[in-house]
Structure 1
Amino acid sequence: MTSSTADTTAYRPVVAVLGTGIMGSGMARSLLRAGLDVRAWNRTQSRAAPLAADGAVVTGTAEEAVRGADVVVTMLSDGPSVAAALAAASGGVHTGQVLLQSSTVGIDATADLAQRAADLGLVYLDVPVSGTKQPAEQGALTVFVAGPTAVRATVEPVLDAIGRRTVWVGEAPGAASRLKLVVNTWVITMVNNIAECLNLAEGLGIDPQSFLDVMKGGPLDSAYLQGKSAAVLSGDLTPSFTLSTALKDTRLILDAAQSAGVRLDLVAASADRFVRAEAAGHGGEDMIATYYAGRAPEQDDD
């Protein structure tokens, strides 16, 4: 991440951030802390408005946000949302402008968006990120990049601001998104594994904290296990990554696996749990709310 003592003559691109939800707003704040000029737009403008207090220029339209920017970052919910944002911004883009497409949209949508960007004269980089709310706010994401290395100098200040680690996967769009789906497979099966362990502990009359204490400090322990479990036990399911978004990503993984001829039993089961938890009203909560999918209906307090 760029230090506050960085050379004031260093190249500082103007960045337009389209999409200021949990991840986009955190990334925008990391860009601002790095000393970059940020223009922020969100379809629901009230969600972008708080960024003005951090120094961002909050615009009323996507077209206004991208006009004159060196780099455009999209962080939206899915492929159709990114396509709609690009269409809305099309009047303000210029040939050679760099697009960092950071939304998790899957393989097919990545190809479609790359073509849309090319039609607009944009230089498209496939740039999904790994991490949730806190890493986004801290500039500590892991960033996967697939795209032309010719624009590396242009985008490095942006990548350094939002990420602790950048992994260049290749030049062809889609390579980074494929790696992101593999990473998300680990996350999705892990969060459901944690939820099921808590469900089973409670079902057997064991204090879930006893399970966590046994695991703590051992080779199978992790900050992820302890943190997600603490969220369930405290009842604080403020989303770092919503359950509904996790379900969307799970479906993208299953689509990719089917196309590749791979069977993912654990991911399919995870999708079933997410569907049940979402149907019970937990879609807007943190994805560890998959815990509620394993409780008997009379146990669910909601």
Structure 2
Amino acid sequence: MKAFLGMGLLGSNFVRALIKQGETVQVWNRTASKAQELEKEGAKAFANVADAVKGATEIHITLKDDATVDAVLKAAEPGLTPGAVIIDHTTTSKEGAVQRTREWKEKGFTYQHAPVFMGPINALESTGYMLVSGDEAVITALTPSLSKMTGKLIHFGAEAGKAAAMKLAGNAFLVCLTVSLKDTLTLSKSMDVSLDELLQLFSMWNPGTLISGRLQRMAAPDQSKPSWELNMARKDTQLFLDATQQAGNHLVLMPVIAALMDEFINKGFGNHDWTVIGK
């Protein structure tokens, strides 16, 4: 039997998927009505979190942050079955994941951090990506169960907390990507480029294929042999800024990027590859 704590959009759909797979699931949420709503779909809701975990061999968590996870687990502890496995899908700090792995082991329980790149639809359809790291034996034992919840289970080795770090790195990329797309949309609007035209461009040219090579170029010890000079990249950046300003619009990231480029140009890197600004 499984317990699931945290019935937000992600957690509730995880529960729905587990029920469809034939699992018996006990659920809890701070706002009790969200847990009770799942009873009509076959879950058993509890108002008290310690009651929700009684008899469960796997306790899954989808909560807000480190503090919330710690508080909920403390409240649930009196009801935990000896030897139960706590599987935390919450995006947390690396330090928090490491600390909980150690502390719950000392208490006689297994804590496994398994953050996800999954939205609510992914959770319902068991698609997307789930990340794990830590004790090899624990991960091997949990793999059959976790694999049913996700499209791909990605193992990042034996270091506790590595999965948490990888999740944060990925989220940082997604946050920056979204803001960069905001700038792209603003610039396009400023130049009378429609959304359909922009989508047409990206349907034929996929910049996502450049990520691996770009990361390797940025990490290389020498950017003195450019494929795109910093001076030229700065020129284009100014064109972005000018076109947007002329249209009375405002870019978010580009002014910061322009200032960073100027800093490196002033240091004598203008003829280097523009990825030198990643140093």
Structure 2-normalised TM-score?
0.69
Measured against aligned partners, the alpha-carbon deviations of 1:145-185 in whole angstroms (never above 9, x if no partner) come to 12333344652343122111112222332021122122222
Rounded to whole Å, the distance in 1 between the matches of 2:151 and 2:191 is: 41
Letter in 2 for 1:80: A
Q: 1:160 aligns with which of 122, 147, 157?
A: 147
Rounded to whole Å, the distance in 2 between the matches of 1:38 and 1:293 is: 48
Rounded to whole Å, the distance in 2 between the matches of 1:20 and 1:162 is: 16
Rounded to whole Å, the distance in 1 between the matches of 2:203 and 2:139 is: 42
Cα pair distance change 1:88/1:135, threshold 3 Å = same
The residue that corresponds to 2:186 in the other structure is: 199
Rounded to whole Å, the distance in 2 between the matches of 1:72 and 1:154 is: 15
2:7 is aligned with 1:20: yes
The residue that corresponds to 2:32 in the other structure is: 45
Most deviating of 133-142 and 178-187? 178-187
Cα pair distance change 1:57/1:219, threshold 3 Å = same
Offset at residue 65 of structure 1 (A): 1.2
Measured against aligned partners, the alpha-carbon deviations of 1:247-280 in whole angstroms (never above 9, x if no partner) come to xxxxxxxxxxxxxxxxxxxxxxxxxxxxxxxxxx
Offset at residue 100 of structure 1 (A): 0.8
Rounded to whole Å, the distance in 1 between the matches of 2:251 and 2:9 is: 24
Cα pair distance change 1:153/1:64, threshold 3 Å = farther
Residue 163 of structure 1 aligns to a residue in which SS? coil
Alignment of 1:277-288 (within 5 A): none
Offset at residue 221 of structure 1 (A): 7.5
Alignment of 1:113-128 (within 5 A): 113-128=100-115
Unaligned runs of 5+ in 2: 210-249, 253-279
Measured against aligned partners, the alpha-carbon deviations of 1:10-52 in whole angstroms (never above 9, x if no partner) come to xxxx111111111111211221122111111111112222221
Structure 1-normalised TM-score?
0.64
Number of aligned pairs? 212
The residue that corresponds to 2:23 in the other structure is: 36
Residue 121 of structure 1 aligns to a residue in which SS? coil
Offset at residue 293 of structure 1 (A): 9.0
Residue 216 of structure 1 aligns to a residue in which SS? helix
Offset at residue 106 of structure 1 (A): 1.2
Residue 193 of structure 2 aligns to a residue in which SS? coil
Contact 2:132 2:139 in 1 (8 A): no
Letter in 1 for 2:198: F
Alignment of 1:134-213 (within 5 A): 134-152=121-139, 154-213=141-200
Most deviating of 22-31 and 210-219? 210-219
Residue 35 of structure 1 aligns to a residue in which SS? coil
Rounded to whole Å, the distance in 2 between the matches of 1:100 and 1:127 is: 6
Contact 1:94 1:122 in 2 (8 A): no
Contact 1:94 1:121 in 2 (8 A): no
Letter in 1 for 2:3: A
2:58 is aligned with 1:60: no
Runs of 4+ in 1 over 6 A off after TM superposition: none
The residue that corresponds to 1:100 in the other structure is: 87
Residue 135 of structure 1 aligns to a residue in which SS? helix
Letter in 2 for 1:87: K
Cα pair distance change 1:218/1:97, threshold 3 Å = same
How well do the aligned residues superpose, as a CA RMSD in angstroms? 2.3
Offset at residue 86 of structure 1 (A): 0.3
Identical-residue share of aligned pairs (%): 25
